[in-house]
A and B are shown apart, each in its own frame.
Chain A
Amino acid sequence: MILPPGTTIAETGAALRRGAITATALVEECLAAIAERDGVLNAFITVLADDARRQAQALDAELTRGLDRGPLHGIPISLKDIVDLAGAPTTAASRLRDGHRATADAPVTARLRAAGAVVVGKCNLHEFAFGTTGEESAYGPTRNPHAPEHVPGGSSSGSAVSVAADMALASIGTDTGGSIRIPASCCGVVGLKPTHGEVSAAGVVPLAPSLDHVGPIARSVADAAVLYGIMRDGPHRPDGGGQEAEPPVARRPRLGIPRRYFLDLLEPAVEGAFADTAERLARTGCRIDDVDIPHAADTGPVYLHTQLAEAAERHRADLDVHPDAYGRGVRLRLELGRYVLAEDYVRAQRGRRVLTAEVDAALEDHAALLLPTLPIVPPRLGTASIAVGDTTETTRALTLRLTQLFDVTGHPAISIPCGTAGGLPAGVQLVGRRGDTERLLAVAAACEAAIRRLS
């Protein structure tokens, strides 16, 4: 280990610039971690060792010549394998994509590479990003680095694992119902879903376009902020705007806990970890009170009718021609979407407007909402349903329960680690105002510092 665990991208960049390390050494360290652990964890579908080495050498030479691309210069990252990288396959973890090779970078990939990021590989995922555990993949299941018999969360399973297991310093994932925040929580890392539409989803295999978000998974809020600043749409500022070494930290933010529905169904270990986190935040000066989202319990049906219909429409032709190329579970869920009636899709869009207004109202006097990311601890692989108290739900429904609302409404949301629940990583979720992802990052930086200070 050439840098201590927890070193931020800014600190790594500083070490690069003073010559204490090289981009080449960073890439070699990531490749060594992949070689050592990926046989068990299965986080990568494609490892790009030769390309990464070549790019790192070129970026080291640039720094020597005085050419500095900014905070991502020479930083090794990974991409969820639904994001196009020119010359590499984009498998979406499906046999349906066998033989695919991207002819161009997705805009988000192009931004990151232009900023000096080195892509070490493309990460495993739940097939077509249509699942929350990382188990259904044509390339085999991904495993949790903290307990390989447990799921890492999905669908950006390999991305979160690659960061948690030091195979990359950061990764790019996507989030349609929670697919960045769920694996971030399960793996003990940070996952940011920006405001809907802020980061281009072009060149990214879609699942349900009106719900799809692209965002970073990273070791810290500061690292997520660096990536977000580069990934988001809009012109790059010549002063490196949006690429500051460290994000601002909010002082004494006021947080609202949407208790009803969101805290109604939690495993005891999660309930304890969340209560402990809220208490820590209050002790460090955060002002915390309750808020209400009156129709939160309607989120599931609204999400389901939107997501299923849009996904089925995207896959219609392939379902007819190559049905057996899909994994069984994903195929069935896609087929299910073909039975959503148009009138119910329209109703769901009306529900989205209602829910969006209610989340806006809950945030009117609060810097962010505070709630758990998951109601359960990461389950063992193969767990179809889970009993919480006297309620039994499918694993899929439980994992989506606390995250999907903010895909439906498009509000920015981030999961940050808050210790452990049942011996496995747990995450707390912060939700910010629409169009103000930067403010959410500042609040998240303050909360992360408070949680770490009192741990």
Chain B
Amino acid sequence: MRLDDWCEQARRDAALRGLPDLDPLLDMLFRATRALRAADWAREAPADPAEGAAGPGAADDKRPSAPPEGRR
């Protein structure tokens, strides 16, 4: 699944379940997911087509746009 789509669906699902407080945590999770998918050792996995070569999660860009949990 494309990460942006999943992110949108997760937010909607959390709101429907009465968990709007999850929003900032979901932001943190998806930043971490982008970083995970961008790691050079993760390249064996199919690239996420939603993230073009210039996007924040591009395969050649190991750094996320903002630090996820546990990262600088």
**Which residues of A pack against B, CB within 8 Å?**
261, 264-265, 295, 297-305, 308, 328, 332-333, 335-336, 339-341, 343-344, 347-348, 350-351, 354, 391, 393-394, 396-397, 400-401, 404
Contacts and interface: CB of A to CB of B under 8 A. Distances in A.
B47 interface: no
B35 A298 contact: yes
10 closest cross-chain pairs (CB), A and B: A300-B70, A301-B36, A300-B71, A301-B32, A354-B41, A397-B69, A339-B10, A301-B35, A336-B25, A304-B32
B70 A344 contact: no
B41 A332 contact: no
Contact of B36 (A339, A348, A393): A348
B25 A404 contact: no
A335 B29 CA distance: 12
A304 B26 contact: no
A344 B69 contact: no
A301 B71 CA distance: 8
A300 B21 contact: no
Contacts of B37: 344, 347
Contact of B19 (A298, A332, A340, A404): A332
B16 interface: no
Main secondary structure of the interface of A (DSSP, over half): helix
B34 to A, nearest CB: 9
Contact of B25 (A301, A305, A333): A333
Nearest to B70: A300
Contact of A308 (B29, B39, B41, B71): B29
A394 B26 contact: no
Contacts of B14: 335, 339
A282 B26 CA distance: 45
Interface in B14-64: 14, 19, 21-22, 25-26, 29, 32-33, 35-37, 39, 41-42, 44-45, 62
The listed residue with most A CB atoms (<10 A of its CB), out of B1, B26, B33, is B33
Contacts of B45: 343, 347
Given A298-B36, A344-B33, A335 B70 contact: no
A300 B71 CA distance: 6
Given A332-B22, A351-B42, A302 B36 contact: yes
A393 B67 contact: yes
16 contacts: A261-B72, A295-B41, A300-B67, A300-B68, A304-B68, A305-B32, A335-B14, A339-B14, A340-B33, A341-B6, A344-B37, A347-B36, A350-B42, A394-B69, A400-B70, A404-B70
Nearest to B18: A323
A301 B68 contact: yes
Nearest to B44: A350
A299 B71 CA distance: 8
B39 A264 contact: no
A261 B71 CA distance: 9
A6 B35 CA distance: 45
Nearest to A392: B67
A298 B1 contact: no
B36 A297 contact: no
A297 B25 contact: no
A339 B67 contact: no
Contacts of A347: 36-37, 39, 42, 45
The listed residue with most A CB atoms (<10 A of its CB), out of B13, B22, B44, B72, is B72
Nearest to A261: B72
Contact of A265 (B10, B36, B69, B72): B72
A300 B69 contact: yes
